[in-house]
Amino acid sequence: KVIKCKAAVAWEPNKPLVIEEIEVAPPQANEVRIKIVATSVCHTDLYHLLESMHPDGFPTVLGHEAAGIVESVGPGVTEYQPGDKVIPLFIAQCRECRFCKDQRTNQCEQAWRATDRPGVMAPPETRLTCKGKTLLQFVGTSTFSEYTVVNAMAVAKIDPAAPLDKVFLIGCGVSTGYGAAVNTAKVEPGSTCAVFGMGGVGLAAVMGCKNAGAKRIIAVDINPDKFEKAKVFGATDFVNPKDHDKPISQVLAEMTSGGVDFSLECTGKVEVMRSALESCIPGWGVSVVVGWTDLHDISTRPGQLIAGRKWTGSAFGGFKGRDAVPGLVKAYLDKKVKLDEFITHKLTLEQVNDAIEMMKSGKCIRTVLNVSPE
């Protein structure tokens, strides 16, 4: 049956979201309908709404960092049953394509359908409608809704003991930052790291550096209020570029006798990506681009790379979602990764615009939106 429920609809770019009654169609073949319990605003939602503002990307239901419970499954779905606790994935894992079969990457040919239309950031088909109009499903998930329908390849089944109002963070921010450090950068014990941007993703990257054994972790942000939080996750130093009249790369080089071993850029700003690369030590420094943008080119002088620095990128922390997310949930339950410390505010879905404003102004790390009771 069609479900009528509440959702936050982005009718047009750069406007507040509107709480509407929408229709969520039954899951078709190889699809899963999920009751969303908890979700959060991530910077990529803001990017689509306020920065990219591509007219073909609206109307849409945003949201991609979430956890919920399977309500029903479509024909052909055997891996999931109603009642299962799950985390929807914005990068699918079909397990069949050449990328899924290769341990070097978490890219998936099937996943590209959700994001490969530039600016649209949604697959062509959708199960959501409102007032006779189809609503795009942002990166194939659309979690700012009481119910959503997701391809079974983009769902991770998790431990039934997991608290959904905490583990929803594994749906994007924490996995993205943590994995960028441990999987992509491959941070080494005893190394020196710099993380640019102390939002949720950056703090998770700090946690990844610490868990990988880095001895010095420099947190870089223009908001000094973020340092206390960064310390909780393992940062040893804090640098505010605004406190210096020379380039941040020079400041870090002077602090570290030549540059850091690993740098992670978690802001989505191309000028910061350049600074992060140029903060690395020549010879073996590795810089990972984590923050998302598709509006500008990145640039540096060739000599920066000829000197032996490596510049690479990371999506969802390099984790193959269906395989890795259950393990990340277990790591939280075993107290090996922190999640509670990221959550600074708790609101309801109806207050989503407040959550957006708090993220824009840097007043929160993560605001959990409690959508439905668990």
Cite the active site residues: 42-44, 64-65, 94, 97, 100, 108, 113, 172, 366
How far from the centroid of its chain's Cα atoms is residue 234's Cα? 20
What six digits make up the tokens of 288?
């990972």
CA gap 217, 202 in Å, rounded:
12
Longest CA pairwise span in the chain (Å): 64
Q: Check if the beta carbon of residue 202 is closer than 8 Å to that of residue 196.
A: yes
How big is the CA angle at 196 (ends 194 and 201), to the nearest 5 degrees?
A: 110
How far from the centroid of its chain's Cα atoms is residue 25's Cα? 27
- What is the amino acid identity at position 149? V
Q: Check if the beta carbon of residue 93 is closer than 8 Å to that of residue 108.
A: yes
Q: How many CA atoms lie within 13 A of 167 on its CB side?
A: 31
- What is the amino acid identity at position 298? I
- The CB density around residue 342, as the number of other CB atoms within 10 Å, is 24
Q: What is the C-alpha R_g of the chain?
A: 20
Locus of tokens 């649209």? 120
CA gap 320, 104 in Å, rounded:
10
- What is the amino acid identity at position 254? E
CA gap 220, 240 in Å, rounded:
6
What six digits make up the tokens of 24?
């969520």
3-class SS letters over 257-275: CCCECEEEECCCCHHHHHH
Give SS3 for 286: strand
